[in-house]
């Protein structure tokens, strides 16, 4: 039968299990993937506006202001979840919010905005996902923080909630605005 | 005491034989029943084995779902955000969350012609983002896509 | 205001749990009677504050207070009020508040119904429960706070509850499952308290037994309901998927089943003491592990909650602290304890040992299958795999069959040793009877499927043995005989019959079901297992918060109408989610299950039709198993304080006996 230290075997087994879980957890977590686009300029694009496809927008039109670029789509239920926070940001915070409507149907997208409310200053229709590919988006929703010179300063994957705003985005926005005023 | 000893010995023997054979059985079963996951790029590059049960996943490409009339056969393309894609055929009822532009995982076999014959199509069952395998497909494409 | 009250109450509950962890422990070491007895009122306080915060959140849902982020995400004005209430535990944050409420209820129950314990033991047990609660409350407040506001701007309409969860099954399934999960903390607390006090005698087993049985019974009900819910709500007609989250609830159940049995042996005969303690620790550990798997998103699953790395990290630390420290304590303390109690190999102890062995191996195989994808990814540098249901079927079924066979003989066995004649007498006849019943069933179902044949034979053999044993115990005067049997015996009997019924249901459904997916236009008819299935077309109907295509499908047998079924394809307006709502013609002998696929044009639809014989028996068996668990608690031994006091003061006579 087992003697003294033998009774510590369950503990050893448990530690092994924890190691597997911890490693698995790190592997699995998509939020911790580094963003290759950080501190690089916005990729070049030329895409129609959602509301009026005759007007084309390019990356140059984005310059000049600190902006949030929100990648969204009507087929993405999580976008509904984050929607109230975008509404709040657009109304209360000193920042411009642009939408990138991704892999979507224009009519559906406009109906969606009418139903839930429209937090975006402007929407770009990325029907084929070309801009999203260039940005390295791997799903919706995703949000990019872009400074006045069109450099990507932060990328948030998944739902943007108030905690992310206050803890992460707001300080960066404040800093960028500060830099903007100084420089 | 003698019977006691003998019983203990018997018990230990049973334990060893039982544990050993169970372990062998379990490992054998595990190795026979794991389904490897392949991304569209891997399928296109011919890395996925033919005629072996595997899983493959990515986004259902927009406007790719076709349903020839009068049957439950569906054809669609699964791709990543670059240009890799492969055709899938499936006969049966698709899950509720199956949509164009949505991440899915298909289980089945790849035939000689490079068509993935799925016997099961899984879409994530609630609003959470997308299946992690698919997320990783998209993420790794992103990395390789950049200069 | 109400929601701030709730937030405040949960912080007070945290404070209470801290006091509960510290004060009684101090009482034990200082031998201060006031501190020693403080556990009862602290447990009550913790319960009351948690209940208050739970009620506050519920009011937030009922009053459509969308300034609360959690309510805004998971409710909607169009939601019927009963779903607004069940939406409280419809997503991660609220369900964890429910978890905390259940935890504090168990703690309160222990403080109220453990008067027979001496003050020292009671203080220790409550302190352990208090310490566990601290972690739960911290987790709730810091990583999953359901009371967060989205002020001052908030949506005028909520995003809606996931349509899958708008269902009766989801109103009742999580609470019952949590009562079971969390209930396993009680035997855990008893085990830890015994380890710290060094009093690892049969007494701790006697105290733990009723608690374990109740928690196990609740867990059984919870899992049974979950399986039933998946069957009718997910629209695939499956009732068990070997999904990571299902496994997460199944592993603690298997361990708790082992614990229920080994506690009996420890209480009655003083055997397997260190093993039983380890089982008590493991059962609760696996329920925590289940929480980690479900709430961290580390594994892919159809039921998993939203992924949040912060939460996963918290739970992982919690696991390491709680389980690591208890296993360390176990390793250091239990080695000093040596008991030699012998038993013959045909004794009930042996049967329980075999039961424990098989169940433990089963847990290990399920665990291996569940985390193998993680291990594989680790060792094979990122290669992703999944482990399919065939693995679980291949390894699990061969383990369960001997378990049923053992069960058949074990009811005849006696403690210490059993004469061969008692075990084997009449067995040829009983086997013959079982074989006759099996052949009759095979003829009835016109199948000679070997799995069906073999498993039915085992199940009938188990049932025949249980009946014969009951007959023997009751004796000639059946009424007096019935009264003479203890609730423990009734409970064992029911649970084992339940296992037989479940197993019969499982094997019949698996081997004899007929399942097709078929394209049907209005008027089309399909022949299946003697039924005619006629599709009459689809109409558009409106529900409170959805619109639906409703199919009308006639089920008839030899031209006679059996039932009209109306499966639906629903589109929930707020979230734009599509949901399949199956319709089922239910009977004890077979289910006819129909679900709509999608419209193919020209009014033709893809339709899923399953005919599943005896599928109800799976859950019926589950209910019987749980009822058995509840029944054992009625045993007088647990109620009559005097008896327990008297037995407690006497040394356990079994300890001095050593057979052989």
Q: What is the pLDDT of residues A10-68, one digit of tens each?
A: 899 899 888 888 876 665 444 444 455 567 788 888 889 888 888 888 888 888 888 99
Share of chain C above pLDDT 70, in %: 93
- Please tell me which of A88-97, C360-369, C370-379 the model is most confident about, judged by mean pLDDT: C360-369
The whole-number pLDDT of residue B38 equals: 87
A77 contacts C575? CB cut-off 8 A: yes
In this prediction, residue C39 carries a pLDDT of 92
The pLDDT assigned to C76 comes to: 85
Beta pairing partners, C577: C572
What's the average model confidence in pLDDT over C373-384? Answer: 75
Nearest to A33 by CA among A124, A138, A121, A131: A138
The two beta strands, B116-123 and B85-91, are parallel
Q: How confident is the model at residue C541 (pLDDT cuts 50, 70, 90)?
A: very high
Helix C185-197 / helix C202-233 crossing angle, nearest 10 deg: 160
* Confidence band for C374, pLDDT divided at 50, 70 and 90: confident
**Is it the case that residue C137 has pLDDT exceeding 50?**
yes
The number of residues making up chain B comes to 147
- The pair phi, psi for residue C97, each rounded to 5°, is -65, -40
- Pairing state between β C568-572 and C546-557: antiparallel
Q: 3-class SS at C522?
A: coil
Considering only alpha carbons, which residue of chain C is nearest residue A10?
Answer: C327
* Interface residue B120 vs chain C (CB under 8 A): no
| Inter-chain residue contact A137 with B103, CB threshold 8 Å | no
Nearest to B109 by CA among B57, B62, B50: B50
Residues B76 and B131 in one domain: yes
Contact C127, C25 (CB under 8 A): yes
Q: To the nearest whole angstrom, how far is the Cα of B25 from the nearest Cα of chain A? A: 21
Reading the block at residue C445, the tokens are 């179902």
A23 and C298 in contact by Cβ < 8 A? Answer: no
Alpha-carbon gap, residue B27 to C597, rounded angstroms:
38
Q: What is the pLDDT of residue A5?
A: 64
Q: How confident is the model at residue C382 (pLDDT cuts 50, 70, 90)?
A: low
Chain centroid to CA C309: 26
- Give residue for tokens 């206050």: A166
Q: Report the candidate in C278, C271, C273 with the shortest Cα–Cα distance to residue C415.
A: C271
Integer distance in angstroms from the first to the last C-alpha of chain B? Answer: 78
Could you tell me which of C186, A49, C335, C576 has the C-alpha nearest to residue B102?
C576
Distance between terminal CA atoms of chain A?
A: 76
Same domain for B90 and B50, yes or no, is yes
Q: Which residues pair with C594 in a beta bridge?
A: C583, C609
**Minimal CA–CA distance to B90: which of B70, B103, B71?**
B71
Residue C67 per-residue DSSP state: T
Distance between A148 CA and the closest CA of chain C, angstroms: 27
* Weakest mean pLDDT among C48-52, C69-73, C602-606, C633-637: C633-637
Query: How many residues appear in chain C?
Result: 660
CA distance C638 to C653: 19
Residue C243: is its pLDDT beyond 60? yes
Residues of C in contact with A87 (CB under 8 A): 153, 155
The predicted model gives C542-557 an average pLDDT of 91
Determine contact: B80 vs chain A, CB below 8 A.
no
Q: Is the pLDDT reported for residue B35 higher than 70? A: yes
| Segments making up each domain of chain C, as ranges | 1-161, 175-419, 420-509, 514-615
The mean pLDDT value for C96-123 works out to 92
Residue C643 predicted with pLDDT over 60: no
Cβ pair B50, B112 in contact under 8 A: yes
Are C164 and C234 a contacting pair, CB within 8 Å? Answer: yes
Of A36, A73, A128, the CB nearest to B142: A36
Weakest-pLDDT range from A80-84, B121-125, B136-140, C597-601 = B136-140
| Whole-angstrom distance, CA of residue C574 vs CA of residue C73 | 11
Tell me the mean pLDDT in the region C462-466: 95
CA C553 to chain centre: 35
Question: In this complex, which of C300, C384, C578 lies closest to B96 when CB atoms are compared?
Answer: C578
Give the number of other Cβ atoms within 10 Å of residue B2's Cβ.
7
| Same domain assignment for residues B87 and B29 | no
Give the fold, CATH level 3, of A36-182: Glutaredoxin (3.40.30)
pLDDT greater than 90 at residue C211 = yes
How would residue B129 be classed by pLDDT, with cut points 50, 70 and 90? very low
Strands, DSSP E only, in chain A? 46-48, 56-58, 67-72, 96-102, 122-126, 142-146, 152-157
Cα dihedral B46, B52, B58, B60 sign: positive
Residue C371 has pLDDT above 90, yes or no: no
pLDDT score for B143: 33
Pick the residue with more confidence: C640 or C251?
A: C251
Give the minimum alpha-carbon distance from A178 to chain B in angstroms, rounded to a whole number: 31
Residue in the block written with tokens 């009122």: C41
The answer to whether residues B81 and B138 touch, using CB atoms and an 8 Å cutoff, is yes
Please report which confidence band the pLDDT of residue C618 belongs to, taking 50, 70 and 90 as the band edges.
very high
Confidence of residue C338 (pLDDT cuts 50, 70, 90): low
| Residue with more model confidence, C152 or C13 | C13
Partners of residue C373 in chain A, C-beta under 8 Å: 24
**Is C383 an interface residue toward B (CB < 8 Å)?**
yes
CB-CB contact of A147 with A174 (8 Å): no
Does A141 sit behind a cis peptide bond, omega within 30 degrees of 0 on the bond before it? yes
Note whether B132 contacts A73, CB cutoff 8 Å. no
C383 contacts in chain B (CB < 8 Å): 36-37
C365 in B contact zone (CB under 8 Å): yes
A75-89, B40-54, C30-44: lowest mean pLDDT where?
A75-89
If you average pLDDT over residues C380-390, what whole number do you get? 76
The mean per-residue pLDDT over the stretch C466-475 comes to: 90
Cβ within 8 Å of B, C 45-104: none
Dihedral of CA C309/C314/C317/C322: which sign?
negative
- Output the domain CATH number for residue B48: 2.40.50.140
Q: What pLDDT does A20 receive?
A: 83
Q: Which of A26-35, B53-62, C337-346 is most confident?
A: B53-62
| pLDDT higher than threshold 60 for residue C563 | yes
When pLDDT is averaged across residues C7-27 and rounded to a whole number, the result is: 96
Dist. CA C114–CA C126, nearest whole Å: 10
The number of domains in chain B is 2
How far is the C-alpha of A11 from the C-alpha of C331, rounded, in Å?
8
Q: DSSP assignment of C18-54, as one string?
A: HHHHHHHHHHHHHT-HHHHTTHHHHHHHHHHHHHHHH
Q: Of A171-175, B84-88, C465-469, where does the model show the most confidence?
A: C465-469
Q: CA-based angle B45:B48:B50, to the nearest 5? A: 115
Q: Mean pLDDT across chain C, nearest whole number?
A: 87
Q: Are the beta carbons of C574 and C594 closer than 8 angstroms?
A: no
CA dihedral A164→A165→A166→A169, nearest 10 degrees, is: 100
Identify the residue with better confidence: C418 or C330: C330
Name the residue among C68, C136, C225 with its Cα closest to residue C626: C225
pLDDT at C35: 93
| Confidence at residue C556, expressed as pLDDT on a 0 to 100 scale | 94
Residue C353: closest CA among chain B residues belongs to which residue? B11
Lowest-confidence segment of A5-14, B24-33, B95-104 by average pLDDT: B95-104
Question: What does the alpha-carbon distance between residue C87 and residue C74 come to, in Å, rounded to a whole number?
Answer: 6
Least confident of B29-33, C108-112, C160-164: C160-164
Chain C CB within 8 Å of residue B71 CB = yes
In a shared domain, residues B2 and B62: no
Q: Is B81 on the interface with A (CB under 8 A)?
A: yes
pLDDT band at B23 (very low <50, low <70, confident <90, very high): confident
Separation between Cα atoms, residue C592 and residue C179, nearest integer Å:
33
Which pLDDT belongs to residue C227?
92
Domain enclosing residue B64, as ranges: 37-145
Local structure of A138: helix, strand or coil: coil
Q: What is the DSSP letter of A121?
A: S
Domain ranges for chain A: 36-182
Evaluate whether C139 touches C133 at the Cβ level (below 8 Å). Answer: no
Nearest in space to C161 (alpha carbons), one of C232, C256, C61: C61
DSSP-assigned beta bridge partners for residue A54: none
What's residue C454's pLDDT? 94
C400-424 pLDDT per residue, tens: 999 999 999 988 888 888 888 878 8
* Closest Cα in chain A to B138: A138
Is residue A91 within 8 Å of C153, Cβ to Cβ? yes
- The residue assigned the tokens 């075999």 is C354
Which residues lie below 8 Å from residue B62, measured CB to CB, with a gap of 6+? A103, A128, B100, B101
Pairing assessment for the beta strands C590-601 and C583-585 based on DSSP bridges: antiparallel
Least confident residue range of C51-65, C271-285, C364-378: C364-378
Tell how strand C385-387 and strand C531-542 pair up. unpaired
Confidence of residue C622 (pLDDT cuts 50, 70, 90): very high
Chain C residue numbers with beta carbons less than 8 Å from the beta carbon of A11 are 324, 327-328, 330-331
d(CA C264, CA C637): 13
Same domain, B10 and B54: no
Beta-strand relationship, C525-528 and C531-542 = antiparallel
């Amino acid at each position: 039968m087992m003697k003294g230290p033998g009774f510590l075997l369950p503990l050893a087994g448990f530690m092994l299990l924890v190691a597997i879980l911890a490693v698995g957890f790190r592997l699995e977590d998509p939020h911790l993937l580094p963003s290759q686009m950080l501190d690089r300029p916005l990729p070049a694009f030329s895409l129609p506006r959602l509301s009026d496809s005759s007007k084309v927008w390019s990356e140059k039109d984005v310059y000049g202001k600190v902006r949030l670029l929100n990648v969204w789509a009507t087929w993405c239920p999580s976008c509904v979840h984050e929607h109230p926070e975008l509404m709040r940001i657009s109304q209360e915070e000193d920042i411009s919010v642009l939408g990138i409507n991704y892999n979507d149907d224009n009519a559906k997208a406009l109906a969606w905005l009418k139903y839930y409310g429209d937090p975006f200053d402007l929407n770009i229709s990325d029907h084929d996902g070309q801009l999203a590919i260039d940005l390295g988006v791997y799903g919706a929703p995703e949000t990019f923080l872009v400074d006045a010179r069109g450099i990507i300063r932060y990328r948030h994957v998944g739902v943007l909630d108030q905690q992310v705003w206050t803890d992460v985005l707001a300080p960066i926005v404040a800093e960028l605005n500060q830099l903007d005023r100084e420089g | 005491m003698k019977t006691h000893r003998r019983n203990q010995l018997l018990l230990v023997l049973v334990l060893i034989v039982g544990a050993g054979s169970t372990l062998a059985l379990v490992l054998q079963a595990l190795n026979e029943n794991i389904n490897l996951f392949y991304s569209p790029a891997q399928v296109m590059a011919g890395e996925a084995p033919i005629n072996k049960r595997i899983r493959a996943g990515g986004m259902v490409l927009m406007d790719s779902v076709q349903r020839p009339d009068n049957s439950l056969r569906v054809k669609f393309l699964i791709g990543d955000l670059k240009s890799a894609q492969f055709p899938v055929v499936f006969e049966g009822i698709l899950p509720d969350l199956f949509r164009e532009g949505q991440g899915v995982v298909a289980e089945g076999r790849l035939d000689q012609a490079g068509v993935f014959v799925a016997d099961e199509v899984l879409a994530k069952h609630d609003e959470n983002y997308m299946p992690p395998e698919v997320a990783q497909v998209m993420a790794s494409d992103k990395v390789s896509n950049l200069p | 205001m109400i929601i701030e009250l709730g937030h405040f109450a949960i912080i007070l509950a945290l404070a209470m749990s801290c006091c509960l962890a510290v004060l009684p422990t101090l009482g034990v070491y200082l031998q201060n009677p006031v501190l020693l007895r403080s556990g009862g009122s602290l447990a009550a306080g913790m319960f009351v504050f948690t209940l208050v915060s739970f009620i506050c959140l519920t009011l937030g849902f009922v009053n459509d207070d969308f300034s609360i982020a959690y309510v805004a995400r998971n409710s909607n004005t169009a939601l019927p009020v009963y779903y607004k209430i069940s939406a409280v535990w419809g997503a991660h944050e609220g369900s964890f508040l429910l978890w905390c409420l259940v935890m504090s209820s168990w703690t309160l129950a222990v403080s109220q119904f453990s008067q027979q314990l001496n003050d020292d033991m009671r203080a220790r047990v409550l302190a352990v429960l208090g310490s566990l609660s601290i972690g739960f409350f911290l987790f709730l407040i810091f990583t999953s706070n359901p009371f967060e506001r989205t002020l001052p701007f908030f949506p005028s309409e909520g995003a809606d509850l996931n349509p899958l969860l708008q269902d009766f099954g989801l109103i009742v399934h999580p609470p019952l499952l949590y009562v079971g999960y969390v209930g396993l903390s009680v035997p855990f607390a008893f085990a830890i308290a015994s380890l710290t006090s060094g009093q690892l005698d049969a007494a701790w087993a006697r105290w733990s037994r009723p608690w374990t049985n109740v928690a196990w019974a609740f867990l059984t009900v919870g899992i049974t309901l979950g399986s039933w819910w998946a069957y009718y709500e997910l629209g695939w007609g499956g009732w068990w998927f070997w999904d990571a989250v299902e496994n997460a609830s199944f592993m603690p159940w298997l361990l708790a089943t082992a614990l229920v049995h080994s506690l009996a042996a420890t209480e009655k005969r003083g055997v397997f003491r260190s093993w039983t303690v380890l089982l008590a620790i493991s059962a609760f550990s696996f329920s925590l592990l289940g929480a980690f798997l479900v709430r961290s998103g580390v594994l892919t699953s159809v039921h998993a909650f939203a992924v949040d790395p912060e939460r996963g990290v918290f739970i992982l630390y919690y696991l390491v602290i709680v389980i690591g420290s208890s296993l360390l304590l176990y390793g250091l303390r239990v080695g000093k304890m040596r008991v030699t109690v012998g038993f013959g190999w045909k004794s009930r102890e042996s049967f329980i040992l075999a039961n424990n062995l098989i169940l433990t191996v089963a847990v290990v195989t399920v665990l291996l299958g569940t985390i193998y994808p993680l291990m594989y990814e680790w060792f094979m540098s990122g290669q992703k795999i999944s482990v399919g249901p065939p693995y679980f079927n291949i390894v699990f079924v061969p383990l369960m069959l001997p378990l049923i066979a053992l069960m058949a003989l074990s009811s005849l066995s006696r403690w210490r040793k059993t004469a061969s004649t008692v075990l084997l007498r009449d067995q040829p006849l009983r086997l013959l009877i079982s074989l006759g019943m099996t052949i009759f069933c095979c003829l009835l179902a016109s199948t000679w499927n070997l799995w069906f044949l073999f498993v039915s034979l085992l199940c009938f053999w188990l049932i025949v043995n249980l009946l014969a044993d009951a007959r023997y115990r009751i004796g000639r005067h059946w009424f007096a005989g019935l009264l003479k049997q203890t609730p423990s015996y009734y409970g064992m009997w029911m649970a084992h019959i339940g296992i037989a019924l479940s197993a019969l249901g499982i094997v019949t459904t698996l081997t004899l079901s007929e399942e097709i997916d078929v394209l049907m236009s209005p008027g089309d008819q399909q022949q299946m297992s003697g039924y005619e299935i006629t599709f009459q077309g689809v109409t558009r109907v409106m529900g409170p918060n959805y619109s639906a295509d409703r199919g009308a499908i006639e089920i008839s047998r030899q031209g006679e109408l059996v039932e009209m079924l109306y499966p639906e394809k629903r589109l929930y307006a707020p979230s734009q989610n599509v949901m399949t709502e199956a319709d089922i013609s239910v009977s004890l002998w077979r289910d006819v299950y129909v679900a709509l696929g999608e419209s193919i044009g020209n009014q033709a639809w893809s339709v899923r039709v399953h005919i599943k014989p005896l599928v109800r028996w799976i859950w019926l068996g589950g209910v019987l198993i749980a009822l058995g668990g509840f029944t054992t608690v009625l045993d007088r031994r647990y109620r009559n304080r005097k008896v327990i006091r008297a037995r407690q003061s006497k040394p356990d006579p079994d300890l001095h006996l050593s057979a052989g």
